[in-house]
Structure formats: structure tokens, C-alpha cells
Structure 1
């Protein structure tokens, strides 16, 4: 192990074992471009170490997770960090979960093996789950807005069919909204 990273970053077998655990073939690993020391050096150049997280400064996904190319393949940087640190491959459906809840973090001490269920339970236990009910404007199928509903109720003199035609909804929906059966939560 060289001095590029703190002792203990790479698990048993070091970066060579980690690269094998990522699924690189012997043919790929025989390339000088994929020598473990070279991959490690390239990887660690993209890591900005802070007292807490090791932030990935290279390419990122739209959600902030680091991306790294090794040979002709692209991996999540946090997945590479976890596999190299533990020497254990991430199988199909496996996740590299963040204990720190920081997507660009690649600190192996902040990562753990899990699956979608473990990751979701971790999110819920930390209070990070945001539940948006799919009613009213939050429903992708809705044609009405809360402003439309308020206007309908404030103008009972306009007949149901005119309102329905103007808003592109059925007459029965206009009746339900005006009676307070539909969109009950809108005052």
C-alpha cells in the first residue's frame, strides 16, 4: 500500500483485488492502463478529503453521485470505494449505501453494503423521506389547479358546462368540485 490514502483504505488484496471484485476481466487487468497503482492514483486525484467526508470532485450524476471510468466501463465512485475497501463485490441489485447521506462521499468508513430495502429503511430512519400525496395538483393526471377550483366556487353564476368547456374537464367534475365532493381540501 502506498501513501496516497490512509492505511486500511484498500481491503485484502488491495486495489488489484478490488478491481477484480468490480468485475474487470483478467484481459482488462493485464493492460498497463489498468495497473492497480495507476487506477488508484487516478481515483485519489479526484478525492478531496475533509475531516468528515471524502468528496468526489470528478464527474457526477444529476443526483450528485460520483462517476469514474475504469477502462471502458463506468462505475459509481462510491461503489468503487466500497468494493476496493472491502474486497467484496456488489452483486445485482446491491447498493453501496451512504451512512453520511452525502452523495459525492467516497469515504469507505461512511459506506456500507445494502440493497434497495436497506437503503430505503436507512432513509426513513433518518427522517429524509419526503412524502408528497398524489392528490390535486400533485397528481400528474390532474387538469385543475387549486386556483381553478377557487374560481369555480367563487363564481356559481357561470354555468357548469361553460366552466367544464373552458377548463377541459367534465360537467360532472365541475358539479363535484362546486358541491365540495371533489377537491375538499381547497377552501
Structure 2
């Protein structure tokens, strides 16, 4: 007999829920994996492609009829480890919609906060500093991948969607994309500059 794996209460759900039946169900696992984009790159994030919460995390509905959702990254961690659910499943990659189990760590609220500051994630280079906000970033990634048709187009769309917009650089005269360089003059042409 399998030990029940209870997920802690969350917003919208006031009670613990035993996830064991879904973790052991091949159809539920296939349904879960169908909602994940795997770019096929080593160590790449695997973004969730369906419902995104206001915090930018994926939500996996366990069954039909509008069942209570569980956080997709928590379900991925449990599916991979089969360990007792920790208070917090932390993202080493800082990408809230990522469900790659190799990017997920067991932790606590205090450890998650300490990790955030220790790694300097409050600065401008982290996905957490995206001016779109966590939910809009996750939605942009999901939309870009879902709208692309071929695997190559999905990968390109994914890479573009994860770029952090820097509108203030353009306002300050620092273009995020380098300006095009004038080509070398052809033989017989005068260089203007």
C-alpha cells in the first residue's frame, strides 16, 4: 500500500488533499505531461502551458468538473520524488511556471526568502524582476509557445518570450538590441563616416 501524499491547503482550497490517486494514475500523469513544454535543451525550464495563477505558477486541475487545482510545480516535484510534500517547493531557476523537477527544491518560506536574497534575485537580471510581473510573464511564455506551430518555431517563441523587456533602457538611450552597423563601402564608394 502506498503512503498517502497530502498537499497542503492553498488559496481556494481549505483542506489538505491526498494526491496519491493522481500520482499513481497513468492517465493523470499523461494529462499533466501534455500541459508542459519541454524545449529539449539540457537544463532548460519546462513551462506550464495551461492555467496560470495570479502568482505566475501553473495550476493543474486533478479531474473533471472544476476540481480544486494544485500547483503544477508541486505536483511535478511529488511525481518525481514521491517524497512527503514540503511546506514550499522552491524554484532554483526562479521561473514560476517551470515544472522541470530538476529545477525544484524542497524548502520552507524562510529558506525560499533567504535564497531569494542570497542569490541577488531582487536585481534586474532575474525572471523575478520582469516588468511584466510574474503572471504576465508566465502568460506571455505560454501564449508564445501555444501559438507557434512547429517545434523549431516553439523553441524560438519560447526564447523570445523569456527575454526580459527593458523599456527604460530605450528611454535612456541604451538600446536593448544593438543598432545595426553600416556595411563596409563597396570598392569605389566613399565612406560617409
TM value normalised by structure 2: 0.50
Deviation at 1:35, TM superposition (A): 6.4
Matched residue, 1:42: 31
Change (3 A) 1:35 1:115: closer
Matched, 1:125 2:153: no
Unaligned runs of 5+ in 2: 7-16, 124-193
Are the equivalent residues in 2 in contact too, given 1:39–1:70 (CA < 8 A)? yes
The answer (yes or no) to whether the contact 1:85–1:108 under 8 Å persists in 2 is yes
> How large is the Cα RMSD of the aligned pairs?
2.6
Question: Contact conserved, 2:5 with 2:19, CA < 8 A, in 1?
Answer: no
* Residue of 44, 68, 75 corresponding to 2:70: 75
Q: After superposition, give the CA deviation of every residue in 1:29-77 in whole Å (9 maximum; x if it has no partner).
A: 3xxx986111001100100012201110010012211001113331000
1:124-145 CA-partner distances (Å, limit 9, x unpaired) = 0111237xxxxxxxxxxxxxxx
SS of 2:121's equivalent in the other structure is coil
**Alpha-carbon distance, 1:25 to partner:** 7.2
1:88 has 2:83 as partner: yes
1:122-167, Cα deviation, whole Å (9 max, x unpaired): 100111237xxxxxxxxxxxxxxxxxxxxxxxxxxxxxxxxxxxxx
- Residues 56 and 96, structure 2, Cα contact 8 Å, conserved in 1: yes
Q: Which protein has the bigger helix share?
A: 1
Structure 1: give runs of 5+ residues left out of the alignment.
1-12, 131-187
Q: Provide the C-alpha distance between the structure 1 equivalents of 2:48 and 2:120, rounded to a whole number of angstroms.
A: 25
Which of the numbers 40, 53, 60 marks the counterpart of 2:45? 53
Greater C-alpha Rg: 1
Corresponding residue number in structure 2 for 1:21: 5
Judge which range, 69-78 or 105-114, deviates more: 69-78
